[in-house]
Structure 1
Amino acid sequence: MSELHDRHRVVLPDWLALYYEDPLEITHGEGRHVWDAEGNKYLDFFGGILTTMTAHALPEVTKAVSEQAGRIIHSSTLYLNRPMVELAERIAHVSGIPDARVFFTTSGTEANDTALLLATTHRRSNTVLAMRNSYHGRSFSAVGITGNRGWSPTSLSPLQTLYVHGGVRSRGPFAALDDDAFIEACVADLKDLLGHTRAPAALIAEPIQGVGGFTSPPDGLYAAFREVLDAHGILWIADEVQTGWGRTGEHFWGWQAHAQNGPPDIVTFAKGIGNGMSVGGVVARSEIMNCLDANSISTFGGTQVTMAAGLANLSYLLEHDLQGNARRVGGLLIERLRAVAAQDPGVREVRGRGLMIGVELTRPGTGLADPGRAAAVLEAARAGGLLIGKGGGHDTSALRIAPPLSLTVAEAEEGAAILESALRSTQ
């Protein structure tokens, strides 16, 4: 393994992050498990950063990919593409957006770039509202609106970005308020901010912040924001790259916890829809999607083989009610982890919905982030046969748990037991 790591360091950037002191090479997977190059088996509670949504090596998806690859893999958007049209029809239907149009990309970053292009063109404004502690991708424009310093390497940007309170419920100046007062204070902050700037194009927000440590506001915050935004003609972009497709259990989309005023103007998606294939995209009302007055194509967005994977994956998810499974099994897993946390003074909070769970670690009695312990827990969990992630806006001190949505109750219990042992061993 060290030989491959040495080669990695010679030809790849220093800033390309790797987990673990002895980085892991995953060679194959099946169901909710993966194996490394040394033959070790792991229960996968991170799914390639929330991307293996249904299962590793899901037969329905691998068959669809293989059959499509045997016909044609790629032709670009310059030609009619039946799988792309069929998947766009499915996504437009489940999006909840009236008269929806769908544009496919190869990643969530590119999807958010496209949403920003649409919003700023439609509104004739390059000012964007974003949430503190947010993450929207690694491109030049996406890092410019990312509100998490650890993932935003430059302050240069083609956009003017203004940051709003509300993405983190349990920290910040409004943390001590109850939910209703919290929402009221965040709305007041938004109104005040709008009084000091030219009219923004859009607010972009993750319903649950992914890289930020699976933090979220109280239900209804973005509905309250929407009333203010609508009064100013400002668009709402829901970044559903991590929250979409039923992962939260309670809803198919994260924005539906804030749905009193209807769907967002624009929704971006990626990760789980392709189950590991490179699929991202944007859904928007037709007048927004069609506002561009120049030619555009996508060489690799919507290519036939990735669309075949997306169709098979979405069909499997809907037919097997994986959203319902995420609600049931995720609820049990959250309660199990909260019972573990009650015995650990270094666990500040267990939060999340469905199979999108964050465990925030702090130094006992201080409330200060404990990134060292988070890294140690990651190592100990791996040693016990469990892969998890980490994140958070406070020095990467939150453990991120996001297994495939087909996780069983027995696997949830197994993973919780390994994590409990890892937490105990690092106290």
Structure 2
Amino acid sequence: MTNDLLGRHRAVLPDWLALYYEEPLELTHGEGRHVWDAQGNRYLDFFGGILTTMTAHALPEVTKAVSEQAGRIIHSSTLYLNRPMVELAERIAQLSGIPDARVFFTTSGTEANDTALLLATAYRRSNTILAMRNSYHGRSFSAVGITGNSSWSPTSLSPLQTLYVHGGVRTRGPFASLSDEAYIAACVEDLKDLLGHTRAPAALIAEPVQGVGGFTAPPDGLYAAFREVLHERGILWIADEVQTGWGRTGEHFWGWQAHGRNGPPDIVTFAKGIGNGMSIGGVVARSEIMNCLDSNSISTFGGTQITMAAGLANLNYLLEHDLQGNARRVGGLLIERLRAVAAQVPAVREVRGRGLMIGIEITKPGTDEADPQTAAAVLEAAREGGLLIGKGGGHNTSSLRVAPPLSLNVAEAEEGAAILENALRSIP
């Protein structure tokens, strides 16, 4: 029974290991864009295991690849040649846009970002990192040290000196009233001023769309303008594509491409969707950066055969079925439908996003003050209606996050929007 499992969970797992809902769900199986709980209730999944179930639940092509690989060998470590790892690395290097790219696989986005920080600081011989306000980069000691969202950064101790840059949240802060062009110019001047007061940083790490931050984003071109300033000083640009990669934003395969007029980032990190639920993360970087480490390193579980087989099958399906194009088309319809609903709900401050990465910010009506209690109530109401969504954001997690599998069809988008409409209209 769920109540028994909840009691056992609380008895042996940390208090800070959060669970959604007043009555937490045990999900037992899924298919396509739907999941079922232990009581047999069926839900339309608009969160995909935190943007991880990228193509579909129980995708036959992925489950077949995993099963066949499990029947041969599951794991050997990076101390041995690994054909699936080489094949997936070749595909990702080519897709990355980074010249002479090298790929290193990890087991999570946290570990990928940790590796990127190791590479950047070793390459630049500096432990100063630029990060964006409202950002999130993982839960390791170094990753929380560069996370610009206090709700997800439990300690101020860090091996890095972190300086936070303005620009990741378009509609809040001192530049919110400016036009996009003036906003970018003001953020660039702020960055230049910041750099004038510190030793040369190793890198700027930035999510093209801030995930945990509530799917906030700057105007297109901001990071390209930042790149010009950084490049003059030899500072690296790390694009954290853990949530934005693989076509989720619809318009681009990588989120950085909305800011790519000066070429690709020096380092790209990825995870989540590529494994469709299997534990895959990784780093792509120019060879001179990736090869700068002068001590031994391996990965016990990064790039293991079974996860690489899943990643290859998943990536093939994504490309062959143009799920990026589907995210653009269906996501465009969904966001316009949600904006029409939100216009009639005073508690919705903003509906934002692109592709199948949509944020709904909840505030106290007529103000910019966060209302996490109401956001939580909408989350509960959506669940009662048969829809699973996420939440996040700065300002006490007052944003709802909508990120279905990229194979979502128009009928399912309309069904989910109708449930969300009822949930939003249930706000007192």
**TM-score normalised by structure 2 residue count:** 1.00
Question: Is 1:360 aligned with 2:361?
Answer: yes
Show CA shifts across 1:221-277 (max 9, x none): 000000000010000000000000000000000000000100000000000000000
Tell me, in whole angstroms, the C-alpha distance in 1 between the residues paired with 2:56 and 2:369.
36
Tell me, in whole angstroms, the C-alpha distance in 1 between the residues paired with 2:169 and 2:71.
47
SS in 2 for 1:394: helix
Show CA shifts across 1:53-108 (max 9, x none): 00000000000000000000000000000000000000000000000000000000
Letter paired with 1:175: A
SS in 2 for 1:71: coil
Partner of 1:312: 313
Shift of 1:51: 0.1
Large movers: runs of 4+ above 4 Å: none
Letter paired with 1:380: A
Tell me, in whole angstroms, the C-alpha distance in 2 between the residues paired with 1:138 and 1:132.
16
- Residue pairs, 1:37-52, within 5 angstroms: 37-52=38-53
Letter paired with 2:307: T
Which piece of structure 1 moves more, 278-287 or 358-367? 358-367
Tell me, in whole angstroms, the C-alpha distance in 2 between the residues paired with 1:267 and 1:366.
37
Shift of 1:296: 0.3
Tell me, in whole angstroms, the C-alpha distance in 1 between the residues paired with 2:54 and 2:200.
38
**TM-score normalised by structure 1 residue count:** 1.00
- Residue pairs, 1:407-426, within 5 angstroms: 407-426=408-427
Partner of 1:243: 244
Partner of 1:3: 4
Shift of 1:390: 0.2
Partner of 1:286: 287
Tell me, in whole angstroms, the C-alpha distance in 1 between the residues paired with 2:204 and 2:361.
27
Tell me, in whole angstroms, the C-alpha distance in 2 between the residues paired with 1:155 and 1:425.
39
Shift of 1:110: 0.1
Partner of 1:189: 190
Shift of 1:426: 2.0
- Residue pairs, 1:101-250, within 5 angstroms: 101-250=102-251
Shift of 1:367: 1.4
Tell me, in whole angstroms, the C-alpha distance in 2 between the residues paired with 1:352 and 1:151.
22
Question: Is 1:31 aligned with 2:14?
Answer: no
Instruction: Give structure 2 stretches of 5+ with no counterpart.
Output: none
SS in 1 for 2:138: coil
SS in 1 for 2:312: helix
Tell me, in whole angstroms, the C-alpha distance in 2 between the residues paired with 1:298 and 1:335.
44
Partner of 2:384: 383
Partner of 2:22: 21
Identity of aligned residues (%): 88
Instruction: Give structure 1 stretches of 5+ with no counterpart.
Output: none
Show CA shifts across 1:121-155 (max 9, x none): 00000000000000000000000000000000000
Letter paired with 1:413: E
Tell me, in whole angstroms, the C-alpha distance in 2 between the residues paired with 1:368 and 1:157.
30
Question: Is 1:95 aligned with 2:105?
Answer: no
Letter paired with 2:9: H
Partner of 1:403: 404
Shift of 1:425: 1.1
Tell me, in whole angstroms, the C-alpha distance in 2 between the residues paired with 1:296 and 1:342.
53
Across the aligned residues of Structure 1 and Structure 2, the Cα RMSD in angstroms comes to 0.3
Tell me, in whole angstroms, the C-alpha distance in 2 between the residues paired with 1:403 and 1:34.
12
- Residue pairs, 1:38-77, within 5 angstroms: 38-77=39-78
Tell me, in whole angstroms, the C-alpha distance in 2 between the residues paired with 1:244 and 1:260.
18
Show CA shifts across 1:291-336 (max 9, x none): 0000000000000000000000000000000000000000000000
SS in 2 for 1:281: strand
Partner of 1:79: 80
